[in-house]
Structure 1
Amino acid sequence: MVDRSDVEAAAALIDGRVRQTPVLTLAGGELGVPGRLSLKLELFQHAGSFKPRGAFNRMLQSPLPEAGVLAASGGNHGLAVAYAARALGVPAEVFVPVTASPVKVERLASLGAQVRQVGQHYAEALAASTRRAEETGALVVHAYDQPEVVAGQGTVGRELERQLDGIDTVVVAVGGGGLVSGIATWFDGGVRVVAVEPEQIPTLHTALKVGRPVDVEVGGIATDSLGAQRIGGIAFDTARRTGVVSVLVRDEDLVRARRLLWSELRVAAELGGAAALAALIGRAYVPREGERVALIVCGGNTDPSDLAARPH
C-alpha cells in the first residue's frame, strides 16, 4: 500500500527532475461545461506526460545495474523511462506493442532507448519484457503497479492541491491505474476522484463491479495510452479504499474532447489526455452546481495533423 508520506518523499526525491506543470482555470461555460473548471496541463511535463514522475521516483530509489532499466509500455511510460534513463546516464530498453503510436516509437528512439515492438497489446509487450529482465538483470520500471511509481504519480495531486485554492473533484483518465491511484492516495477521500475509461477498455470499472482485477477485452481508439488489459492491484485497492468514482466514455466523446482542447485552448492532447474532459462533455460525469472540478490533461504525445478538423 502507498500512503501520503510516500508521495511526500517522492516529491522531495524528484524535485528538480520534473516540471511543475501549469493549471488553467476557465470561466463558467467554457468548453460547454458549466461552473468552475480547472485543467492541470500535465502534457507539458518532460516526455509529454505525467509519467516521468513515477519513473524518476522508481529509478532514484533503486540501485541502477549496469544493464540499465527496462519497461513495457503503450508509449508514454516508455518515453518517461527513456527520458529518465538518459538523464541518469543508464541504458533503457522499452517493449511496446506493434499498435503503439508511430509518434511515440520515433520519440523513444530519439531519446536513446532500444525499442522492441512485440504483440498487439500492452499485456504482450509486458510478458516479453518480463522474460527479458530475467535474462539481463535490468531494473524493471513498471508502467503503473509498483509502489514507487504510484507515489511518483501522486505528486500530480500534491502539486495540484498547492496550485488551487479549493478542489471538490479531480477527474482523471485510467489505463493501468498508476495516476488515479497516486492522486487518490494523496487526497485520501477528502476530494472526490473520478476515474475515466473508454467504454471498450473498462479495466477499473469491471474490477470494481466484480470485486477483483480481471482481464478485459481491449479495443477502441485510445489503446496506445489507455490500453492496459487489467487494472493494477495497487489501483484497485486504492480505488476501493478511497471511494473512487468510475465512469466510462464513448470513443466519439474522446475525439470531440481532444478537438475542443485544441480549437478552444490550443492544447494538443492525445486521446487519453482528453479523457477527463470527455467525461464531462459526454455527461458520463455531471458536476453539481458550484462544484469545483479539476481535470488532468495527462498526455500530449500525438500527431497533431488531424486537429484542424472542426469539433462535431
Structure 2
Amino acid sequence: MFPDVPISPERISETERLIRPHIRRTPVLRANMADFDLRPGRVDFKLEYLQHSGSFKARGAFANLLSRPVPEAGVVAASGGNHGAAVAYAAMRLGIPATIFVPSVTSPAKVERIRSYGADLMIAGERYADALAASLQFGEERGAMAVHAYDQVETLLGQGTIGCEIEADIPDIDTLLVAVGGGGLIGGIAAWFRGRVRVVAVEPEGSPTLWRAFEAGHPVDAPTEGIAADSLAPKRVGEIMYPIAQAFAERPVLVSDDEIRYAQKMLWDRLRVVAEPGGATAFAALLSGKYAPRPEEHVAVLLCGANTTAVHFD
C-alpha cells in the first residue's frame, strides 16, 4: 500500500509536464561491467549531471517556482551547492530574485556557478544546517519564499520525474542505485516506481543519514563528514521522504571516501565522465562490490551531479 504522503506517480507525471519546457531530458549511457574490471554484465548510467545547473536539482527547483505563488521578494534557499545553483538558475530563467545561503564547505565550483546565475550568495556557518537556519530567518524577515532542498513536496515531485525518464528509456531495468543526502532524490524516484524496480540507497560512511534513520525507525541526526559533505550531508533525511523510503527503497549501502574517489577516477578513465563526489557515490557501491548484482540482473546507476573543477584523479 502506498504511504499516506502527498507524492504519487500521477502528481509526478503532472509535474513532469509542467517542468518539461524548462529541463533537459538527460541521456542514458549503456556500458558493460567488464569495462570497469567487474564480472561481465550490462550496466546503464543515467547522465543526470548533464541537467541544467550541473545536477538533478534543477527539476525540483523548477517544480517549486512554477507551482507555488512566488512573492515580490523572490525566493531563498539553503544548499551545500547544487540545490542553490539549481534555484539560482531557475530563478534567473523565470526572472525571479533569488538569495542563496551556503556553508563554508561548499566547493568553489558550486559557489562560482551560483554567482554566475545572478543570485545573491551568502556564506553562513560550516554545515548545511547552519545555512538552512540563516535562510529561514532571511525568509521570515524579507518575505521571500523558501525552497527546501529535499523536505518539500514540490521538490520530491520534481526529482521524481527522473523516474519517468528512466522507466521510458530503460524499460527492462531491475535495480537502480541512487545516492542519498537529504533524500529528496531517492524519495521522488521511489515514489514513482513503487516497488516495481529495486531502488538501492547509497550513502557515504561519513554522512549516513538514511542508514541512521532506518536504524532508529525515524529520521535522526547523523554525522556530516566526508568528501561528499557539500552535497550528501544534511543532519538528517526529510520527514516527507522517509515513509516512502521505508516502503520502496532498499536499506542503504555505505561507501568510504576512498571508494568514492576510486569511482570518480574510473568514471573518468573508462568513460571520460567527470562526476563530483556526490555524483559518483552510487557507482562506488557497484565498483567496490558492496552492492553485488545477481547474474543477469540489469543494473542502472544514477550519476546525479558534476559540479566540480577536478578533471584529474591521481
In the alignment, is the contact (CA less than 8 A) between 2:202 and 2:282 conserved in 1? yes
2-side partners of 1:43 and 1:58: how far apart?
Answer: 20
In the alignment, is the contact (CA less than 8 A) between 2:101 and 2:121 conserved in 1? yes
* 1:305 to partner: Cα distance: 4.2
Q: Write out per-residue CA displacement over residues 49-88 of structure 1, whole angstroms, 9 at most, x where no aligned residue.
A: 0001011011101111111111000000000000000010
* 1:46 to partner: Cα distance: 0.3
Q: Write out per-residue CA displacement over residues 93-124 of structure 1, whole angstroms, 9 at most, x where no aligned residue.
A: 00000110011101111110100001110011
2-side partners of 1:187 and 1:233: how far apart?
Answer: 19
**Any idea what SS the aligned residue of 1:287 has?**
coil
Q: Pick the aligned partner of 1:226 from 227, 232, 241.
A: 232
Q: Pick the aligned partner of 2:35 from 30, 36, 46.
A: 30
Aligned-residue Cα RMSD (Å) equals 1.0
* 1:265-304 matched pairs, under 5 angstroms: 265-304=271-310
Q: Write out per-residue CA displacement over residues 130-181 of structure 1, whole angstroms, 9 at most, x where no aligned residue.
A: 1111011111110001111001000111101111131100001001001000
User: Which 10-residue stretch deviates more, 203-212 or 228-237?
Assistant: 228-237
* 1:27 to partner: Cα distance: 2.5
Give % identity: 51
* 1:174-189 matched pairs, under 5 angstroms: 174-189=180-195
Query: Relative to structure 1, is the Cα distance of residues 33 and 186 closer, same or farther in structure 2, using a 3 angstrom cutoff?
Result: farther
**Any idea what SS the aligned residue of 1:200 has?**
coil
Q: Pick the aligned partner of 2:144 from 124, 135, 138.
A: 138
2-side partners of 1:262 and 1:12: how far apart?
Answer: 34
* 1:32 to partner: Cα distance: 2.7
1-side partners of 2:173 and 2:247: how far apart?
Answer: 20
In the alignment, is the contact (CA less than 8 A) between 1:196 and 1:246 conserved in 2? yes
Unaligned runs of 5+ in 2: none
* 2:291 partner amino acid: Y
In the alignment, is the contact (CA less than 8 A) between 1:33 and 1:280 conserved in 2? no
The answer as to 2:135 corresponding to 1:122 is no
Q: Pick the aligned partner of 1:159 from 150, 160, 165.
A: 165
Query: Relative to structure 1, is the Cα distance of residues 32 and 157 closer, same or farther in structure 2, using a 3 angstrom cutoff?
Result: farther
Q: 1:39 maps to what in 2?
A: 45
The answer as to 2:64 corresponding to 1:58 is yes
* 1:42 to partner: Cα distance: 0.3
In the alignment, is the contact (CA less than 8 A) between 1:71 and 1:78 conserved in 2? yes
Aligned length: 308
TM-score by length of 2: 0.96
* 1:20 partner amino acid: R
* 1:154 partner amino acid: G
Q: 1:106 maps to what in 2?
A: 112
1-side partners of 2:127 and 2:227: how far apart?
Answer: 13
Q: Pick the aligned partner of 1:86 from 79, 92, 95.
A: 92
TM-score by length of 1: 0.97
1-side partners of 2:33 and 2:59: how far apart?
Answer: 31
